[in-house]
Structure 1
Amino acid sequence: MDRPIGYWVKHLDNLLDDAMGQALAAYGTSRRDWQLLSAAARDGSAAMLAPFDGVEEAVQSLTSKGWLADGRLTDEGRAAHAAVSEHVMHFRRRITEGVSPQEYLATVDVLRRMAANAER
């Protein structure tokens, strides 16, 4: 606890970005590509990603792969999502090893509330 939360949030984000990039390299995708692919598979929309950098590039990347057309997943995109999802789930299990489900949910809740406070 020798460093503030901002340090740990940014440090973890950088580590996750690097590790996720390595994990997704086999699919020729980036972390942002995966986030867009996942959002499109979940609700057909990338609107939740709009505030983040790199969304337009991810749309172009997934479109060029044939995984996205007119902002929607293609059949090929759904198949890619299924394959990449398995890989990502393995990655997430490894990253959260030793963290209980309750600890994870509590951490997400605290970060969500802090973000809401900062947005006010």
Structure 2
Amino acid sequence: MYMSDDNKPIGWWLKEVDRLLEESFERVLADDGLTRRQWQALNAAAGPSPIAEALAPFLSGAEELAAVTGPLVERGWLTGETLTADGERALQALSTKVQAQRRRVTAGVSDSEYLATVGVLRRMAANLA
């Protein structure tokens, strides 16, 4: 049975948006030889949370984390949890690309719509937890 877009449930849309986000960010980062998870690891290294904590929803354990961070260490961008000077420069350059992609993703969505959507999803996640 065919379901029109208007009749598709939230779960369908969540999966579709997740899939499209993954694909689009992989394309944006491919020219730099990075995956989305590697970008997230670099970004996390610049923040207050440990990389493993920041990436926990996306990875299933230490082996996957090592597969993400290992190439960043090899490139000289990370030392443990810390960005190197080269890593900071790479993060800054990549941030410009990622911000442009985020603007494309949210084109036509007002700030209030975005915040409302995130708020609803946060409450739904809390209900399910």
Superposition TM-score, scaled by structure 1 size: 0.92
Equivalent in 20, 33, 45 of residue 40 of structure 1: 45
What is the 5 A alignment of 1:30-109? 30-43=35-48, 45-46=50-51, 47-53=53-59, 54-109=64-119
Report the count of equivalent residues: 119
**What displacement does 1:20 show?**
0.5
Aligned counterpart, 1:6: 11
Runs of 4+ that moved beyond 3 A: none
For the residue of structure 1 that corresponds to 2:47, the secondary structure is: helix
Specify the structure having the higher radius of gyration (Cα): 2
Q: Residues of 1 paired with 2:104 and 2:95: CA distance?
A: 14
> Cα RMSD over matched residues?
1.3
Deviation, structure 1 residue 44: 5.8
Give structure 2 stretches of 5+ with no counterpart: 1-5
The answer to whether the Cα contact below 8 Å between 1:44 and 1:73 also exists between their aligned partners in 2 is: no
Instruction: Report the structure, 1 or 2, having the larger helix content.
Output: 1
Where 1:27 maps in the other structure, the secondary structure is coil
SS in 2 for 1:42: coil
CA shift for structure 1 position 51: 3.6
Tell me, which stretches of 5 or more residues in structure 1 are unaligned? none
What's the counterpart of residue 120 of structure 2?
A: 110
